Amino acid sequence: MDPTTAIDVRAALSIATKAAEAGAQVLQYYARHREQLQINFKMRNDLVSQADQEAEQAIIEVLQKLSPDFGIIAEESGGTAQGQAFWVIDPLDGTTNFLHGIPHYAVSIALVARAATTMPGRPPLSRTEPVAGLVYDPNRNEYFSALYGQGAWLNQERMYCSQTETLTDALVATGFPFRDFGFADQYMPMMQAGIQQTRGLRRLGSAALDLAWVAAGRFDAYWEMGLAPWDVAAGTLIAREAGAHCADLYHEEHWPASGDIYCAPPALAQVMHQELIAPHLGKRTAKAPDWYLSVPGQSQS
């Protein structure tokens, strides 16, 4: 694709929706036939089944057919960030929930465009970032979507984050260390502060849905450490387009590709970072993937 060609993000979102539905069809089949699941261990508490793999393949087939010029980065099969823009896919966010029969998981698909990319009616991007995002919850048939600079939607309705400004009024989602415990000494005091200072903490087990629920105003805020870029690519855009401040915990990356993230309405986000997060942050233990760091024109400020 010619780098000066504008990307039609609405068309991209339509493609992402078709792909997510194809992946979800696989997931829901196995949700009804859990006895057929074969589970493998990538590492401690990091599971993968043929449901993840087959759903991912179904998603990739749709994306390759309908958007052959875009590269693909997928959780299970990898890929390359080739082209002017590339898809970042999590075919099953909430694998542990899924494998235990808990109906709280989602398909997450984002289109990430390189710096200098243009979209109809908008100036070129100054940095590389997601420009179309979809988080699909097949159990509730809820489509959380967003387009860069155009807003966020829950199904067909425009979606906005809450207006909560104080921790005492905030219901906050989080995710415990479960795979990499190298940052547990930073995370645990944050959780302790959250228990004491917020209306309540919730840990539901799907980062993509946590971000989408902040966008929808169900949660007031969310933070987590040790995620992967495909966990947060779509959700970051959706939350931002719903009015939330969604950022890297260390304030080093424009979008939190290293997987250390917090998200809340702007006033609450400032308080949350100052009082719950910053006092306990140490050295970052995660690293953004090479395909993010090596993108031409990327600024890390």
The predicted pLDDT at position 300 comes to 37
| Cβ count within 10 A of residue 121 | 8
The predicted pLDDT at position 40 comes to 64
Is 301 within a domain?
Answer: no
Q: Which among 133, 158, 183 is the end of a domain? A: 158
What mean pLDDT is predicted for residues 116-128?
A: 90
pLDDT tens for 152-200 read 999 999 999 999 999 999 999 999 876 666 778 999 999 999 999 999 9
Q: Between these two residues, 214 and 6, which has the higher pLDDT value?
A: 214
Instruction: Using pLDDT thresholds of 50, 70 and 90, give the confidence band for residue 281.
Output: very high
Q: What is the CATH number of the domain that holds 45?
A: 3.30.540.10
Question: What is the domain range of residue 203?
Answer: 167-280
Residue 201 pLDDT > 70, yes or no? yes
Kindly state whether residues 24 and 98 are assigned to the same domain: yes
Q: Which two tokens stand for residue 226?
A: 């040790």
The predicted pLDDT at position 43 comes to 47
Kindly state whether residues 214 and 111 are assigned to the same domain: no
Mean residue pLDDT across the chain:
90
% of the chain surpassing 90 pLDDT: 73
The predicted pLDDT at position 285 comes to 79
Is 176 within a domain?
Answer: yes
User: How many alpha carbons fall within 13 Å on the CB side of residue 285?
Assistant: 15
Is 296 within a domain?
Answer: no
Q: Which among 102, 129, 158 is the end of a domain? A: 158
Residue 1 pLDDT > 60, yes or no? no
Is 291 within a domain?
Answer: no
Q: Which among 90, 125, 158 is the end of a domain? A: 158
Residue 298 pLDDT > 80, yes or no? no
The predicted pLDDT at position 181 comes to 67
Give residue 248's identity as a one-letter amino acid code. Answer: D
Kindly state whether residues 59 and 146 are assigned to the same domain: yes
**Of all helices (H) and strands (E), which one includes residue 300?**
none
Q: How many domains does the chain have?
A: 2
Q: Decide if 221 contacts 173 (C-beta within 8 A).
A: yes
Is 225 within a domain?
Answer: yes
Secondary structure (3-state) at 187 = helix
Kindly state whether residues 98 and 203 are assigned to the same domain: no
Q: Output helix, strand, coil percentages for the chain, rounded to the nearest 5.
A: 35, 25, 40
